[in-house]
Amino acid sequence: MAGDLRGQGIGAKLMAEAERRARAAGAGIIQLTTDKSRVRAHAFYERLGYEPSHLGMKKKLG
């Protein structure tokens, strides 16, 4: 179903609202985490003005 909704600007509107709320709460920066394999998501965030800034690390303990 999500594929049917892509391209309508819903994600950008949700991100704009999150940013508005963060500013209203006094935040000076907003940060998100995304899996490095999500190339389309990265392109979306970059279109919104987000810049890559960190390299995350994890280790499975199972």
CA distance 25 to 47: 24
- Residue 25's domain comprises 2-47
In the numeric block, which tokens belong to residue 45? 């965030």
Please state, rounded to an integer, the average pLDDT across all residues of the chain. 92
Residue 57 lies in a domain: no
Evaluate whether residue 43 is within a structural domain: yes
List the structure tokens of 11: 């994600």
Q: Which residues of the chain have pLDDT under 50?
A: none
Q: Determine the pLDDT at residue 34.
A: 92
| Counted domains in the chain | 1
- Name the pTM for this structure: 0.79
